[in-house]
Amino acid sequence: MKAVIYPFILFLVLIHSAVAGDWPQWRGINRDGLVQSEKPLSQLPEKPKKIWQVSVGKGQGGLVIAGGQLVMCHEKIVNGKPMETATLINATSGKMLWETPYSASWQYTNVYGAGPRTAPMIDGDLIFCQSAKGVLACISMKTGKLRWSKNYEKDFGAKWFGGNAPGSSGTAASRHGNNGAPVTDSRYIYAPAGGHDGASLVCLEKTTGKLVWKSGSDYAAYAGLMLGEIAGMQQIVMVTAANMKGYRAEDGRELWSVPVKTGAARNIVTPILHGDTVTVASHTVGTFQVRISNSGNGQKAEEVWRNKDVRTNITTPVLRDGYIYGLGASRGKNSEFVCLSHKTGETMWSQRGYDDYASVIGMGDTLLIHGSRGALTLLKATPKAYTELGRLDAVSQISWNFPVYSDGVLYLKDGIKDGGNKLTALKLH
């Protein structure tokens, strides 16, 4: 498959490290939902300026940005076939620089339609895209050329069952494809391949796609991976369809495991790493925290606290100054925005009136929240009380795409099944 190069653009971009304004991967530079080196918003404009808007394909994969260039993955028709396609876009003008198809598209039947579910990743000159059909592709950011691709099932023996995983029950019984976001370090990319045949998690060389190791047989969920040092051990934390586990980055050895069993095997949250603690939210068991410590030749996870009333279905919370902010409700719907103590799990406050999904971006002492129905809300990040600083209704159409905020501009992608898919740049600062 060849990249489509738009002839009116000539450019050269090579990014070796993240800089101010970059949001190069799922949930930002540090995968924590926090904007780096940006002046916080103190209010929302009554009518944000639309800098540009372009039509794009279907998908709910989220956006990333580095060096003033946006990368998005969406569904495009290529030679009459729906294909997941990576696209590089100039963030200032909205002009498409190249497009590269990398996988056949999974055809969803729900309201959110077809296309990818995972945000791409920019790592230097490399762009990594994971398709819903379990293809991991590496693309040159400079040229748009496909460098390598791997199929989780064909190459590693992984299986993806989603809500059909053994032991699953509940309403999410349909197969929704691979969704969890991979993570990289200086040499390797770690990807949530699926399950079966010891391929729950795979480690590949970034530049070649060569398999370094594979580990585990848990079925994958819809959760992004986290990489960090916990209790002196560099490890990947992975939430699977039924557990949360730590794998040693060096060789894939399982270090610890705790159950996170949901009614539909659909854990849709990225864990929060802080010191030697890991905090995770679930729509079934609530929000809880474990502390990781060394034990003999391995490690153990001990529960610190559990808040059964704060259950989140999709949204990953943000940790700011000792407090956790995100969606959660005790009545079966994610209609409340909540604040929890990271130390104790105590609910500090809750506020109704929110969608079942929201993207939460922290910047300074404020929180920017984009709801799935298009509302944009600015909150003060304080445990004292729910403090709304501004709200804009319907800045976008229905969407699960995680937006990015860079240099005072919010980039939003709509994602509607039957048309209306738009990528919009809104000036907020």
- Domain extent listing, the chain: 4-427
CATH, domain 4-427, list 1.10.10.60, 2.40.37.10, 1.10.150.120, 2.140.10.10: 2.140.10.10
Q: DSSP state, 182?
A: P
Q: What is the dihedral of CA 391, 401, 63, 119, to 10 degrees?
A: 140
Query: Does residue 381 carry a pLDDT above 80?
Result: yes
Record the tokens describing residue 177, joined without a space.
């494809």
Closest Cα to residue 328, out of 368, 301, 273, 288? 288
Phi-psi region of 40 (alpha: psi -120 to 50; beta: other; left: phi over 0): beta
Q: How much of the chain exceeds pLDDT 70, in percent?
A: 87
Q: State in Å, rounded, how far the first CA of the chain is from the last one.
A: 40
Distance CA 6, CA 248 (A): 43
What are the pLDDT digits (tens) for 79-121? 999 999 999 999 999 999 999 999 998 776 666 678 888 999 9
Q: CB-based contacts of 104: which residues, under 8 Å, 6+ apart?
A: 81, 82, 83, 84, 131, 133
Decide: 274 and 257 in contact? Cβ < 8 Å: no
Does 417 score more than 60 pLDDT? Answer: no
Residue 342, pLDDT > 90, answer yes
pTM, two decimals, is: 0.91
pLDDT in tens, 126-153: 999 999 889 999 999 999 999 999 999 9
Average pLDDT, the chain: 87
Q: Which residue has the tokens 């691979």?
A: 178
